[in-house]
A and B are shown apart, each in its own frame.
Chain A
Amino acid sequence: MSDCHETSASTRVIVREKMPLIALAGQPNVGKSTLFNLLTGLNQHVGNWPGKTVERREGSFIFDDRSYGLVDLPGTYSLTANSPEEVIAREFILRERPDVVVAVVNAANLERSLYLVAELVALPTPIIVALNMMDVAAQEGMRIEPEVLEAALGVPVVPMTATRTAGTRELLRLLRETLDGHRLTNPRQPEIRADHRAALDEITRCIIGHVPEPYPAEWIALKLLEGDAEITRTIQNALPPEKWEAVYAVLRQHDDALLAVASGRYEWIGRMVRAAVVQPRMGQITWTKQLDRWAAHPFWGMAILAGILGLVFWLTFTIGSPVQGWLDTQVVGGLSNLAGQMLANAPFWLKGLIVDGVLGGAGAVITFLPIMVIFFAAFGVLEDTGYMARAAYVMDNLMHLMGLHGKSFLPLFLGFGCNVPAVMGTRVVDSKPARLLTILIAPLVPCTARMAVVAFLAPAFFGPKALLVSWTLVLFSIIILVLSGSLLNQVIFKGQRSAFIMEMPLYHLPNTRTIGLLVWQRSLSFVKKAGTNILAMAVVIWALSVLPNGDFGTSYLIQFGKWVAPVGRWMGLDWRLTVALITSFPAKENSIATLGVIFGSSRTAGLAQTLTSTYSTASALSFLVATMFFIPCMATVAVIRQETNSWGWTLLNIGLFLVISIVAASGVYHLALAVGL
């Protein structure tokens, strides 16, 4: 390499003694330097490009007894005069005429890195595309066919992974063949849009014969259209004034040509990528198709779904409930006792606030966590393996009853855990009416909090039949859900149907990290959102139960309960059950705590017996039904407001649930009385 010429940068000419010169071009971060180091090893030196602070690296290497010179061009996104690097790169290619330009592209991001290639193919130097980072592309599940890309581009393409030295020999062989003239390159050029094509031709006509060496006229015309400042200056000086006037007139008319030229290049890139990239992994596809024969079968798919749902609930309650009970009696109960002892001499209100208010509220949150965690984990596994899309698919027919489609099933299913993520999860539903409808009916799905109330009361009232009663209540909820859904769809949404279009992801093994993260984030947000609400409301309810006189019997809470008691009477509920129902608004499980406060035992142990001896079976059944359908909990109402962005829909939802719970509970109460319960 002869750097010793003392000529100025613009007229510099390199004297070569038969050693072919190769230039490495590429965008930043495509592994160009890795490839340079790999080829040259220690035979490299680093300097600066003349007059610039940009680093110039060059070196040489020997392949099959022949030496080659290699220049590492600065990393550039394009060849427009946006930066000194871009000017250096294009001036080098045009003036020093390397024998071959190796364009390094990132196989994992062809859309971006082919832009430079789109510019390089317009230059007269032969190019070879080094399709680098094939390993990254493979990791991302992309399959690229280099020979198809080669055919589409019209220039040689060599796949490689420079970091693992894979593909270098092929690159060198290709270089030699190209230099020997055994590889004819015939690059396909990006096209400029038709309305600018004429302008390009006219400019080319005007400047031809006046373009200074070594620039090709058509390339100059393109750069003029792109508004390249440096080329514009050069040409303005080179052209006779009247010719420049003509060129300038065309340019002024097409001042938006910059985008048209770049657009043409992106369209060219789009064509190349479409041709060369085969989407994903064949093995996984066949596997997925095999599994889908069962999981997406109209009958077996439903059976599998039912089995999986059963398993999830079984897991949630067999593992979750004992942990929940242990937390309740040992941790929360222990803390309450401890606080009670420590505050024995404190004023009564402080003791009440801490023990009944704060610990009562926090306890409710803590005891719910095990069930939530298990449910979120089970849901996470189903989601991460790709199964959830199949569940939505097989449920599509059933969801049509409500004018919804399969996708709405996903958030509804989430509702079995907690209605809050269910309402937020309706974001997966694409059409607005369908989403609103799903939000409206989502709280009809019995969440774990309501199931906990049922799990507490049902055994007390129904003994061995508790399980049957619980499942009947769940089934009843689902029937009400379908009925309300189809009714609302007819009345409010006029029977609209939304489109069901859903990508079915390929099955893969669940990733524990992903699921762990999901459980952590969801649980954290549950504790934050629900926790603060429940805690605050527990304190408020406690305050209402002692104000104004410090006496429970005359408190505001009791007064309010007695005031609304007539409505409760329709459902067979006395004022105490009515108050309990109302206090389930901040959090469903509050109703048990309220009954505990009302019946004067903060420990729930004795409560079950007290309740059984106080209420008839009909009233108990009615209370359970009312609890299932009462106004969604405060946290759910808050997210409904947030997700619908409308108080109207939120109030409609509250009204709807109030009506459903009163009607259903009264109906059940009178029916139970009629059959003699």
Chain B
Amino acid sequence: MTPKSNQIPLADLTTGEEGSILFFTGGRSVTTRLASLGFTPGARVDMTQNYGRGPLIVTVRGTQVALGRGEAARIFVERSAG
């Protein structure tokens, strides 16, 4: 197995950090809606705004998407170096 230290919930990225999507946990309907906005495994996400509480804004495939903190906690990403 690959080391899991790099797998973090999307909500843990701080403003300005980037990552690539690994997998989703949680319901199919949420996953479907996320996918329709461009959240697919391998896609690069860019944390646009994260104040540590409340909803956050991420940029994925050039589109800005607002996510509830709960939703962002169910998307697992690999933090990009740098």
Contact = CB atoms under 8 A, between A and B. Distances in A.
A453 B48 CA distance: 45
A293 B64 CA distance: 13
B65 A503 contact: yes
A279 B67 contact: no
Interface residues of B, number: 22
A501 B67 contact: yes
A393 B57 contact: yes
A499 B71 contact: yes
B51 to A, nearest CB: 5
Contacts of B51: 297-298
A287 interface: no
A433 B9 CA distance: 27
B interface: dominant SS: mixed
B3 interface: no
Interface centre among A397, A501, A502 (most CB of B within 10 A): A501
A310 interface: no
B63 interface: yes
A279 B63 contact: yes
Contacts of A278: 62
Contacts of A297: 51
Interface centre among A278, A298, A392 (most CB of B within 10 A): A298
A285 interface: yes
B54 A502 contact: no
Contacts of A389: 66
B10 to A, nearest CB: 12
Interface string A266-290: 0000000000001110000100110
A interface: dominant SS: mixed
B61 A393 contact: no
B62 A501 contact: no
A300 to B, nearest CB: 11
B33 interface: yes
Nearest to B64: A504
Contact of B33 (A296, A405, A501, A506): A501
A497 interface: yes
Contacts of A292: 48-49, 57, 64
Contact of A503 (B30, B37, B53, B70): B37
B70 A499 contact: yes
A500 interface: yes
Nearest to A500: B68
A564 B34 CA distance: 53
Interface in A305-331: none
Interface string B37-54: 100000000001101011
A505 B37 CA distance: 12
Contact of B55 (A285, A396, A497): A396
Nearest to B55: A396
A150 interface: no
A267 to B, nearest CB: 14
Interface in A469-523: 497, 499-504, 506
Contacts of B33: 430, 499, 501
A298 B30 CA distance: 25
B48 A406 contact: no
Contacts of B57: 292, 296, 393, 504
Given A298-B54, A499-B30, A500-B71, A288 B64 contact: yes
Contacts of B37: 501, 503
Contacts of B62: 278-280, 285
Chain A's interface size range is: 20 to 34
Nearest to B67: A501
Contact of B66 (A279, A504, A506): A504
Contact of B54 (A288, A392, A396, A504): A396
A296 B49 contact: yes
Contact of A500 (B48, B49, B61, B67): B67
B68 to A, nearest CB: 3
Nearest to B34: A501
Contacts of B53: 298, 397
A397 B54 contact: yes
A501 B68 contact: yes
B9 to A, nearest CB: 15
B25 to A, nearest CB: 13
Contacts of A497: 70
Nearest to A389: B66
A506 B59 CA distance: 12
A293 B71 CA distance: 22
Contacts of B55: 393, 396-397, 405-406, 500
Contacts of B68: 396, 405, 499-501
10 contacts: A288-B64, A296-B49, A298-B51, A298-B53, A298-B54, A393-B55, A393-B66, A405-B68, A500-B66, A501-B33
Given A500-B55, A503-B65, 5 more contacts: A289-B48, A396-B54, A397-B53, A502-B66, A503-B64
Interface of A: 278-280, 285, 288-289, 292-293, 296-298, 389, 392-393, 396-397, 405-406, 430, 497, 499-504, 506
Closest 7 CB pairs of A and B: A279-B62, A500-B68, A504-B64, A396-B55, A502-B66, A397-B54, A499-B30
